[in-house]
Chain A
Amino acid sequence: MTKSMEQDPQVAPMLDRRDERVRHAEGFSASIRAFLDRVRSGDLGSLPVIVGLVIIWTVFQSLNPVFLAPNNLVNLLFDCSTVGVIALGIVCILIVGEIDLSVGSVSGFASALVGVLWVNQGWPVVVAILAAIAFGALIGAIYAFLFNRFGMPSFVSTLAGLLSVLGLQLYLLGSTGSINLPYGSSLVNFGQLLVMPDVVSYILAALPGIVLFVLEYRTAARRRAAGLSSPPLGRLLVRAAFLTVFLEFVVYYLNLDRGIPWMFGLFVGLVVAMNYALTRTKWGRSMIAVGGNREAARRAGINVRFIYTTAFMLCSALAATGGILSAARLASASQQAGTGDVNLNAIAAAVIGGTSLFGGRGSAYSALLGIIVIQSIASGLTLLDLSSSLRYMITGAVLAIAVIVDSLARRSRVSHGRA
């Protein structure tokens, strides 16, 4: 300690590089080594899901060459978007360390409500959609009230909600059983047909790289001006270029068939917005703090109840949105909507994508990555003409593996001091 103190004033290096006991990854090989160190200590990030995706795609492609064909992948993206939006809500609620088991029911109820209001009652479709989303948020507000006021575990309140909301859905559809949404309407077109024009998709695919580079470049400049270390320009360029090439290739490949569905664009837009909210706003910081240490967050002056309320409401509102999207995808609001595996697929997607079930860790992108894994399995098994019984078993096994990886990584993080 004394040694380092003596050496401190020598050159007055950058504000965050004064202590020479810390190794900082400077070159390319050092960056790789730092990444490997991080993985070894249990900070896996999205590595497991990418490895898993490669395995799943390789297996299914070898079993059925249609699997990776553009046509199938475009269908995959349509299917991803519906449950993916629900999984995004699950990410929200998992980050604060709670759970919502009723997202399936809420999504089914929202689709039923849109069917009744729009088709049966003749409301304008936009108003019907907004009403359904607002009703979803209201359900979340009720969970939050039960949680904040009575300390009712979210596990129980949402389990009760699962049944009650399913009952509401059946009640709404009671007389008819199911409501067909009219083909040719904008909502059904959005869910089944509408894809981006090629030009638009190429431009949109170029945006992330450019935005990423500009933002990081500006941050780096500000950091240098403030006397902090900053990544070299080369690394920023390489990353942005890599991202752009990857996205443009994906878009090119999908444009060989119909192209990128607008519905998937909406989903990705929601993911990006959520990622911004979680990482770059005070609200997101508070969400992660509440999930990590509720008492510490409370003592720091964070309104913990408000944070829980927003988490529950967002989760239910996104579940309702996902339900409306899946109604559009199926062109119907039926009694089966939102039942079966919707609930678990949404939760599994969030967890497989890397959001911890234990709270305090997670990212909006885990919904995107996780739902692609789940839908790949579903799509691959459908192509192999396997029954849903096998699909359930395999999806269940993948979920179990994901949770095991999560638990092991968590234990490793604790022992490596990364919590």
Chain B
Amino acid sequence: MTNLNEVRDNGRERVLSLRGISKNFGAVSALTNIDLDVHAGEVVALVGDNGAGKSTLVKILAGVHQPSSGSITFRGKPVTLDDPSTALGLGIATVFQDLALCENLDVVANIFLGRELNPLRLDEVSMEVKAWTLLNELSARILSVREPVASLSGGQRQTVAIARSLLLEPKLILLDEPTAALGVAQTAEVLDLIERVRDRGLGVIMVSHNMEDVRAVADRIVVLRLGRNNGVFAPDASNQELVSAITGAADNSVSRRASRRQTQGGQVQDQQTHRPEVRR
């Protein structure tokens, strides 16, 4: 599986590469020997079941957790991500699943949180202009940037969080479940946005449960299972393959359910085609 990563290394800059990353929380091994490569201009989808270690891996890359062992190489140099600001400074931006916004602050303050312009005399005008520019680039539906974030909907908050991650012109963006809370149109907008980010030459890691979204934008799908690498797939891999890699068995609850639905669906269709005749 590691070999597959190496094979695809054809000429493009390797933004990030992880080797043998492990993370233990006490007696629990959340991650064991994870290898992962991300290249510039590439969307890598990270999929796996609940508890597979996706979020832990994202938090390690964001500098929130520190790995118990293993090495991280970012743009060719070995790095240690001691805290979130180190990761940010290197150019790794993260949009967390819980978005990590301050509800009591307004949109501008949230976008610029931790990197305000002109620290001793905040430049509110420039910050507001830049905030509107970023939000308009994302074709965001934000009503006012001077309202506290508490008054925004889930989708709007997601947009604010993504806008914030783009502020520092990062080299690598981590998106933890970016579409989980979004409606149909907003999901499409976020997927568009991910493609736009990729076309700018950034590496993107996207964690998602939604196979449809993953296949729509990912160049590579990396499967984690119980904290270990469990296969790398091309976006045209079949659902069957992905699901069995995620769950670790060809005969799993998803496939059983699918086949059950198939047979049931057949029956229902039969009934529906019959019913009009009965009425007559």
Which residues of A does B touch, CB under 8 Å?
1, 15-16, 19, 21-22, 219, 222-223, 226-228, 280-283, 285-286, 288-289, 291-293, 295-303, 360-361, 413-414, 416-419
Contact = CB atoms under 8 A, between A and B. Distances in A.
A168 B272 CA distance: 87
B94 interface: yes
Contact of A228 (B96, B104, B120, B125): B125
Contacts of B129: 15, 226-228
Interface string B74-91: 000000000111001100
Contact of A226 (B126, B145, B185): B126
A416 B148 CA distance: 11
B84 A417 contact: no
Contacts of B64: 299
A278 to B, nearest CB: 11
Given A281-B120, A300-B113, 17 more contacts: A15-B132, A19-B141, A223-B128, A226-B128, A226-B129, A228-B125, A280-B122, A281-B122, A293-B103, A295-B100, A296-B100, A296-B113, A299-B64, A300-B100, A303-B85, A418-B148, A418-B151
Given A19-B143, A299-B64, A300-B114, A223 B105 contact: no
Contact of A301 (B115, B121, B143): B115
B144 interface: yes
A299 B116 contact: no
B122 A360 contact: no
Nearest to A358: B104
Interface in B95-145: 96, 100-105, 109, 113-116, 119-122, 124-126, 128-129, 132, 141-145
B205 interface: no
A300 B128 contact: no
A24 to B, nearest CB: 8
A302 B105 CA distance: 15
A299 B103 contact: no
A361 B150 CA distance: 13
B65 to A, nearest CB: 12
A293 B101 contact: yes
A282 B132 contact: no
A417 B148 CA distance: 8
Nearest to B128: A228
A280 B121 contact: yes
B103 A297 contact: no
Contacts of B163: none
B78 to A, nearest CB: 22
B116 A223 contact: no
B232 interface: no
Across chains A and B, which 6 residue pairs bring their CB atoms closest together, nearest first? A419-B150, A301-B85, A282-B119, A300-B114, A292-B104, A417-B151
A16 B122 contact: no
Contacts of B218: none
Interface residues of B, number: 42
Interface in B144-188: 144-146, 148-152, 185
14 contacts: A16-B144, A16-B146, A219-B124, A227-B129, A282-B120, A282-B122, A292-B103, A292-B104, A300-B114, A360-B104, A414-B150, A417-B150, A417-B152, A419-B149
Contact of B145 (A16, A223, A227, A301): A16
A281 B123 CA distance: 9
A227 B130 CA distance: 12
**Main SS of chain B's interface residues?**
loop
Given A16-B145, A413-B150, A222 B125 contact: yes
A285 B94 CA distance: 21
Nearest to A225: B125
Given A280-B122, A299-B62, A413-B150, A289 B100 contact: no
A302 B122 CA distance: 16
B102 A289 contact: yes
Contacts of A19: 141-144
Contacts of A297: 102, 113-114
Nearest to B89: A301
A302 B114 contact: yes
B63 to A, nearest CB: 9
A376 to B, nearest CB: 30
A293 B96 CA distance: 14
Contacts of B96: 299
Interface string B49-76: 0000000000000101000000000000
B20 to A, nearest CB: 26
B104 A299 contact: no
A221 to B, nearest CB: 10
A414 B150 CA distance: 8
A293 B115 contact: no
Nearest to B183: A1
A2 B199 CA distance: 27
Nearest to A361: B104
Given A226-B125, A417-B150, A282 B116 contact: yes
B270 to A, nearest CB: 39
A417 B100 CA distance: 17
B61 to A, nearest CB: 12
A131 to B, nearest CB: 28
Nearest to A295: B100
A121 B153 CA distance: 64
A312 B145 CA distance: 32
Contact of B150 (A228, A286, A302, A418): A418
A296 B102 contact: yes
Contacts of B104: 288, 291-293, 360-361, 419
A301 to B, nearest CB: 4
Contacts of A1: 141, 185
A301 B84 contact: yes
A302 B125 contact: no
Interface in B198-232: none
Contacts of A303: 85
B165 to A, nearest CB: 11
B128 A16 contact: yes
